[in-house]
Amino acid sequence: MTCVRGASALEDLLKALPGKPVAALVIWETVGPAPSVALPPLRTRVLARVRDPRAAQLWDPRQLVSSALREAAATQAGWPARGLHTDSSGTIWDTVLVFPPGSRWTDAPPKPVYAGSLVEDVMDEVRKNLH
Amino acid sequence: MPRRRAIAAAVAIALAALLGAFAWHRSELSRSGDVRLESASLDDVRAAFNARPGEPRVVALLSPD
């Protein structure tokens, strides 16, 4: 439930910054070991928590983003890895990252300027790091 | 005859509820930004991340459970 509240907190942040050029990406994922079976699609009421047109929402039941971020944090210098919240299987969740303008995700994710968790608790920090 | 009318009314109500739910679902999603319900690939994620490179990006990893 804290994650769903995190989505609402992100929506509130975007609402508080009308007109600001910022792109938000919400990665919905499962927590725990990646499931081997197909999962049902996300419920509309969960998706409806983020309505700002600057936000895109993707469904990542295979935890591909978590794995990519975990590997980048482990192999690239200077990652704010302490802000990554992981479960016992290593899945990064209830975590928010801020990337500066000009960042591009090529083979690996770029380095964020900020990473924090739990999402609903760190929106002030996210806001401070949006330049 | 009253029984037939009752069944017809029940079917009409169920159909109206179904159409209403469908319309609500579409309107909820249309108010959002890009929403993809199918399982994303890393290429999808990269494309979404790189779509507006001149802007700061906020990426949140969340569980719907």
Q: What is the 3-state secondary structure (H, E, C) of A80-127?
A: CHHHCCECCCCCECCEEEEECCCCCCCCCCCCCCEEEECHHHCHHHHH
A87 or A125: whose pLDDT is higher? A125
- Domain of residue B38 covers 2-50
Instruction: Describe the strand order of the beta sheet including B35-39 as a list of residue ranges.
Output: A114-117, A95-99, B57-62, A23-29, A55-60, B35-39
Of the candidates A87, A82, A80, A83, the residue with the CA atom closest to the CA atom of residue A95: A83
Q: What is the pLDDT of residues A37-87, one digit of tens each?
A: 555 666 777 888 899 999 999 999 899 999 999 999 999 999 998 889 988
CA-to-CA distance for A65 and B14, rounded, in angstroms? Answer: 41
pLDDT of residue B37: 74
Tell whether B13 is within 8 A of chain A (Cβ): no
Question: Six-digit token pair at B29?
Answer: 């999603």
pLDDT of residue B20: 64
Task: Look at residue B56 and tell me if it is in a domain.
Answer: no
Average pLDDT over chain B reads 80
B23 or A15: whose pLDDT is higher? A15
Task: Look at residue B13 and tell me if it is in a domain.
Answer: yes
Tell whether A74 is within 8 A of chain B (Cβ): no
- Partners of A29 in the β-ladder: A60
Mean pLDDT in residue range B1-12: 80
Q: What is the pLDDT of residues B28-52, one digit of tens each?
A: 555 567 787 778 999 999 999 999 9
How far B22 CA sits from the closest chain A CA (Å)? 11
Tell whether A92 is within 8 A of chain B (Cβ): yes
Q: Domains in chain B: how many in total?
A: 1
Please name the residue of chain B whose CA is at the shortest distance from the CA of residue A125: B58
- Encode A59-97: b = buried (16+ Cβ within 10 Å), e = exposed: bbbbbbbbbbbbebbeeeeebbbebbbbeeeebbbbbbb
Average pLDDT over chain A reads 89
B12 or A121: whose pLDDT is higher? A121
Minimum-distance CB partner of A46 among B36, B40, B64: B64
CA-to-CA distance for B65 and B51, rounded, in angstroms? Answer: 28
pLDDT of residue A52: 94
- ipTM field: 0.91
Chain A residues 47-66 within an 8 A CB cutoff of chain B: 47-48, 50-62, 64-66
Q: How many CB pairs under 8 A join A and B?
A: 179
